[in-house]
Amino acid sequence: MKQIIIFWNYFKNNEQEIINAFFLGINGDEIYGQFKKKLHNISKGIGFEITKPSNNQDKCRIIFTAYGHQNLFPKIIALENQAPLLEHFTVQAFIKPFENSEKYKNGNDAPTFYANYNLKISEIKIALLDYNTATKHIKISLYLSHYNEIKHFDDLKENIDWIVMQIIGEIAFHKHFKQIQLNQILPETNGLLSLIELPDLIDYLYKINSRKKTRQVQTK
């Protein structure tokens, strides 16, 4: 894909400028505009995240996402496969689940800053609305502490989808989710699960469905 080659040529030649722009704000608008234009020439539906290294020996990481849209998966894979050897970056296709979720389960996670409000993953609650045993599609209601204040922002759904994909991974997100309802959190949260428990909920639904199929086979 020609546009992917053009993107990586630009990226490789401007690694330090990209780091300075995204992390230090140096020529931020100019570099971000150039970066976004090159990426949108591949597809306007592709998103990204650039993360800092965890220590001085590690590289920054750029993660490309299709936000769960399967038609863009080949381009996301191509972006990773065609990436050159970079001095300051590693490249990742798709959002992967958290490697360690303990801090979210314990409530020790740092808040995510969104529209002047702090969102903590550990404080987000969910309720199961529907599970289609044939398609494996799940509908959930997701409860946010500041939903009434931020519900008018156009990119709220995109940001929430990103958070959910960090919990279960982008591939599983595409496989399972057709609808996520957003709501203001209730004063009483009994009966609601924590968002970080979503992988366990999906595993539970799979096991229940498998048991039903096994019983059906045994009764024939």
Asked if residue 214 has pLDDT above 70, the reply is: no
| Mean pLDDT of the 119-133 span | 93
- CB within 8 A of 160, min separation 6: which ones? 142, 144, 180, 182
User: Coil, strand, or helix at residue 188?
Assistant: coil
Instruction: Render pLDDT for 103-113 as a digit per residue (tens, 0 to 9).
Output: 999 999 998 88
How do 60-65 and 89-93 pair as beta strands?
parallel
Asked if residue 28 has pLDDT above 70, the reply is: yes
Nearest C-alpha neighbor of 49 from the set 6, 139, 112: 112
Instruction: Render pLDDT for 32-76 as a digit per residue (tens, 0 to 9).
Output: 999 999 999 999 999 999 999 877 778 999 999 998 889 999 999
Residue 219 pLDDT grade (very low, low, confident, very high; cuts 50, 70, 90): very low
| Mean pLDDT of the 102-125 span | 91
pLDDT more than 90, % of the chain: 73
93-124 core/surface letters (b: 16 or more CB in 10 A; e: else): bbbebbeebeebeeeebeeeebeeeebebbbb
Residue 211 pLDDT grade (very low, low, confident, very high; cuts 50, 70, 90): low
| C-alpha to C-alpha distance for 150 and 28, rounded to whole angstroms | 26
Instruction: Render pLDDT for 144-172 as a digit per residue (tens, 0 to 9).
Output: 999 999 999 999 998 899 999 999 999 99
Q: What is the pLDDT of residue 55?
A: 74
What the block records as the tokens of 68 is 């769960």
In whole angstroms, what separates CA 15 from the centre of its chain? 24
Side-chain-side CA neighbours of residue 198 (13 Å): 30
